[in-house]
Amino acid sequence: MRSLWFLMASVLLLAINLAAQEATAWSHFKPRDHSLGDVHPFIKDGECWLYYLKPGTYESALVRSRDWLHWEETAVTHDPALPEDWMSPYFVLGVLHDPVAKVYRSFYGHNQGRIASSVSKDLLHWSCAPKTFSVLPGDYYQRRRDPFVFWIPEEKQFGCVMTTQLQGRPKELAGAVSFATSPDLEHWQDHGLIFDPGNIGEPECPQMFRLGAHWYLLASIYDQAVGQPVYWMADHPRGPWRKEPSGVLDGKDLCAAQMAFDGDVPVLFGWIPLQSSRPGKQTWGGHLALPREVYALPNGMLGTRLPAKVARAFDNLSWHTEPGFEIDSKPHALAGEWKDLAADFTLRMANDAKEVRVRFLPLGEVIISQTKLRILDANGESWSELPFSLPAKEPVQVRLVVEGDIVELFINDRYSLCARLPASDGNRRLSFSGDSGVEISALRCSGSPKK
């Protein structure tokens, strides 16, 4: 009898766990007792080791995931610093493997623009590296931080890009990127600036990587808040880099986004502010956004889409399919209410149709127009937007994800946009409206039970 009771309890627990997994298949992760700040992913054998900074103390912390949706908090430690060591609370940022020494290394900014280093054998316990594994300070900047180290195949050496605030300029115009190289990660040569447009704040968390025939510089430009992810293109790590960005990868609420490579596939992670925020009033730290795979288009521009393993998790949801319909200025409402909501559909717009509104009241709506994507609150205020080019008369695949007050939009495996909207009570009700000549088809909806 007792064994039967345990069996029944086990079956019930399994059912509860499966139901919880389905209900939270697109959960936006946040650690139990604090927000999640600037993230630095490292992918090993498909598992993402996501190092991040805790708000307030800015100390390093770690979460891990194999499906990149459900995360496990994991302790990360560091040996006590000796008097001659350079060590900061954020002792792990970007991670790379040193194939010669067969260890893992991380580089981080320290006092007076020094770039110090930590070393680990297991990614969990870290020690201060000797000072020779450091990029020494220079005299051309006020501060330098956020190093990212990468391999340059054509030079057979490592490169390091660093956020730089130059001396003698207003902060909002002093942003630049400096560059250093090393043949062995131990002996570094500082080459000064490689990118100095003269009209931006600090380009936070810069990264440099190669896709296809081009090199890319990715950063989030600080302008009263952590900026949206923007990128520049060049033929070589040393440039020349154009003054204006080549493109953007998301809106202002994908903060300090960083990439890691899963084999040859780059995957972008970023955080969404804990509260809806306007420029100058941004909450530092929040929830983890859904990951984005980044890829190069034939013209060299970059696109984003859900990684295959994340897309498969969505495909395994219990979906409710709706018949196709045409829309006009009168909202076409669907039956049903959801606490959280995911919706997939195919959109076709005639050449003279200007926009489509997808409402998930009482929280807000998404507007898809010929030239722009926007996420708005229920009062019509735009909280995040992105330039967009709608292919006329061709089918456009749309995925909308709403959890609490977080909204994420993925279109045509090419564009992504997220936002945190002002919180609202009540279940989400889905409706469509727009100009004539718009057709919705292959619509399916899934969501957690209404409150």
Closest-CA residue to 37 (of 14, 6, 58):
58
Written as one string, the DSSP assignment of 190-236 is EEEEEE--SS-S-EEEEEEEEETTEEEEEEEE-SSS---EEEEEESS
* Burial class (CB within 10 angstroms; exposed 0-12, middle 13-18, buried 19+) of 11: exposed
CA 192, CA 139: separation in Å to the nearest integer? 10
* Burial class (CB within 10 angstroms; exposed 0-12, middle 13-18, buried 19+) of 303: middle
Say what the pLDDT of residue 358 is.
Answer: 97
Ranges of residues in the chain whose predicted pLDDT is under 50? 1-24
8 Å CB contact between 292 and 231: no
Say what the pLDDT of residue 7 is.
Answer: 34
Say what the pLDDT of residue 368 is.
Answer: 96
Q: What is the largest CA-CA distance in the chain?
A: 80
Q: Which residue has the tokens 């995931």?
A: 65
List the structure tokens of 79.
Answer: 């040996």
Q: Which domains does the chain have, with CATH numbers?
A: 26-305 (2.115.10.20), 317-448 (2.60.120.200)
Q: Is 237 helix (H, G, I), strand (E, B) or coil?
A: coil
Say what the pLDDT of residue 8 is.
Answer: 33
Written as one string, the DSSP assignment of 416-450 is EEEEEPPP--S-BEEEEEESSSEEEEEEEEEEEPP
Closest-CA residue to 247 (of 268, 231, 258):
231
| H or E element, residue 97 | strand 95-98
8 Å CB contact between 364 and 378: yes
Q: What is the pTM of this model?
A: 0.92
